Amino acid sequence: MTQAISPRSRKVRVLATLGPASDTPEMIERLFVAGADAFRINMSHGDQASKIPLFEAIRAMEKRIGRPTTILADLQGPKLRVGKFAEGKIILRTGHEFILDRDPTPGDETRVELPHREIFEAAHPDARLLLDDGKLVLRVVSVAGDRMTTIVEVGGPLSNSKGLNVPDMVLPLAALTDKDRSDLAFAVEQGADWIALSFVQRPEDLMEARRLIGGKAALLAKIEKPSAIARLDEIMEQCDGVMVARGDLGVELPPQSVPPLQKRIVETARRLGRPVIVATQMLESMIDSPSPTRAEVSDVATAVYDGADAIMLSAESAAGQWPVESVAMMNSIADAVERDPAHGDRVHFTVTHPDPTTADALAEAAKNIARTVSAAAIICFTSSGSTARRIARERPPVPIMGLTPRLETARRLGLLWGMHAVQTRDVESFEEMVAKAKRMALRHHIATAGDRVVLCAGVPFKTPGSTNVLHVVTIVGDELTSYRGPEGG
């Protein structure tokens, strides 16, 4: 890395999706300057070749700014769609019967192909089928082999290949398609730090993705299916982080169900120590407008008050007319909320009980000590990132600096609440640990002369999972000038 950069003044992270409105190196850097901490590359749109310049631009910027930068590659997942119509479009009439079958013949106002065998296997009377993002609703009357009879409960226009949601079924369908497997291999090869898995219904859905990733990236589960809610704790045990994907949740569930579910998912993730992203339609009006609605501002603020690790922009930064302004607005909302004196108390409405381990006990103690002695920061030495995750789970009142010799670890930490990750050479002794912590705190402007910082590490050094040291030090003014070692160490 070429230079040290100051940490953000806020602790929640901002994740910006890249797309046609933000796919140049200049725009990516403008988004970073405006407040983006991490970047989402959506594998649903465009081919793999079109994604390579995005990876390259982010890594080139990372080198220029001297800050490990997080890339999340979001897999498309299975897409359920109806077939085509002879006239291209029909009108579904409320109260009328409508047939779904496996016949590829173009449909009409009485029937259409449904090419997904798994839906016929899982369907049952009274189950709902939602078409075109939930605008149209069918209710299953009966299923006989490859023929499903439904009644139209909410009618309207339906055109070729519209999407289908099945909120009342758990489909015998893998979360990974052939396209996803190819995209996953590509994203890992390009150096993605996180892989987001769509269409997660059960914990078993994560196992193949975990195997294919092979430890080269962290795995994030998108919670977008009602069936996933029923096994939320089990799913979170199998992944490294979660996303509250409110778009699909809002299609498959009544809209009034989504806010309490969002709070439940955030609370569960925090309790289990998994970073959690709140996503979809956060500043939706800024796709076309330079300013958000008051309701959208309140929505973003709620996620920050709840203690989410990250808040995400989708089409606002990917395809909207105001991508930089959207990031800047999200940054300013989060900054204002975190300056609220009540923010700290509200974040701790969720109680995170430590596991009965030394590492968890020290993480909780580091938070309490930092508050008691008015420390400027908590500095942790971490190889795998587990120590940093434990401390972030506690939501301490001060910034967290994660020092790691592994660049891939530093990049993955970019989605954690309050984390400023730095790649640096490992330490060999306790004295070197203390000296390096002081030096890095000054170099990265996380503390100044006279400040106290809390150090957390494991002895013996270079041993993952050995966190067993907590130490408070005071920084003196000549820590940088007295150091004679090589720069960056």
Angle (deg, nearest 10), helices 25-34 and 323-339: 20
According to the model, what pLDDT value does residue 299 have? 97
Q: Tell me if residue 426 falls in helix, strand or coil.
A: coil
331 within 8 A of 317, measured Cβ to Cβ: no
Please give the backbone phi and psi of residue 83, each rounded to the nearest 5 degrees, phi first.
-80, -155
| Token pair for 64 | 């220029």
- The per-residue pLDDT for 465 is 64
What pLDDT is stored for residue 3 in this prediction?
54
Tell which residue, 2, 7, 12, has the closest CA to residue 447. Answer: 7
* pLDDT band with cut points at 50, 70 and 90 for residue 478: low
Residue 424 clears pLDDT 70, i.e. is over it: yes
- Least-confidence region, from 80-84, 302-306, 482-486: 482-486
Q: Which of 205, 233, 230, 231 is nearest to 219 (CA)?
A: 205
**DSSP secondary-structure letter at 405?**
S
Say which residue the tokens 């993730």 belong to.
269
* 3 state SS of 83: coil
Whether the per-residue pLDDT at 439 is higher than 80: the answer is yes
pLDDT at position 189 is 98
Q: How many helices (H) and strands (E) does the chain have?
A: 17, 21
Confidence of residue 388 (pLDDT cuts 50, 70, 90): very high
Copy the structure tokens of residue 196: 């987001």
The torsion angle over the Cα atoms of residues 331, 439, 380 and 336, rounded to 10 degrees, is: -20
For the segment 7-35, the average pLDDT, to the nearest whole number, is 96
d(CA 396, CA 382): 17
288: its two tokens:
């076309």
Q: Are 275 and 415 in contact (CB under 8 A)?
A: yes
pLDDT in tens, 160-181: 999 999 999 999 999 999 999 9
> Distance between CA 316 and CA 287 in Å, rounded?
5
Q: Domains in the chain, ordered, with CATH?
A: 13-77+175-341 (3.20.20.60), 89-165 (2.40.33.10), 358-474 (3.40.1380.20)
pLDDT score at 481: 46
Query: For residue 445, what are the contacts with CB-CB under 8 A and spacing of at least 6?
Result: 4, 6, 7
Q: What is the CA radius of gyration of the chain?
A: 24
Q: What is the mean pLDDT of residues 72-101?
A: 96
For residue 338, pLDDT beyond 70: yes
The DSSP secondary-structure symbol of 280 reads S
**Pairing status of strand 310-313 against strand 276-279:** parallel
CA neighbours closer than 13 Å in the CB half-sphere of residue 25? 11
Once rounded to an integer, what is the mean pLDDT over residues 452-461? Answer: 88
pLDDT tens across 279-318, in order?
A: 999 999 999 999 999 999 999 999 999 999 999 999 999 9
Give the closest residue to 382 by CA, choosing from 435, 432, 417, 433. 433
Q: For position 1, what pLDDT does the model report?
A: 39
Angle between helices 25-34 and 48-65 (to 10 degrees): 50
Give, in degrees to the nearest 5, the angle at Cα 27 between 218 and 412: 15
Identify whether 167 is preceded by a cis peptide bond (ω within 30 of 0).
Answer: no
Report how far residue 380's alpha carbon sits from residue 27's, in angstroms, rounded to the nearest whole number.
33
pTM attached to this predicted model: 0.92
Q: What is the full DSSP assignment across 99-114?
A: EEES--S-B-SSEEE-
The single-letter code of the amino acid at 397 is P
CB 438 within 8 A of CB 475: yes
Are 443 and 4 in contact by the 8 Å Cβ rule? The answer is: yes
**What integer is the mean pLDDT of 181-195?**
98
Whether residue 242 contacts residue 274, with contact meaning beta carbons closer than 8 Å, is answered with yes
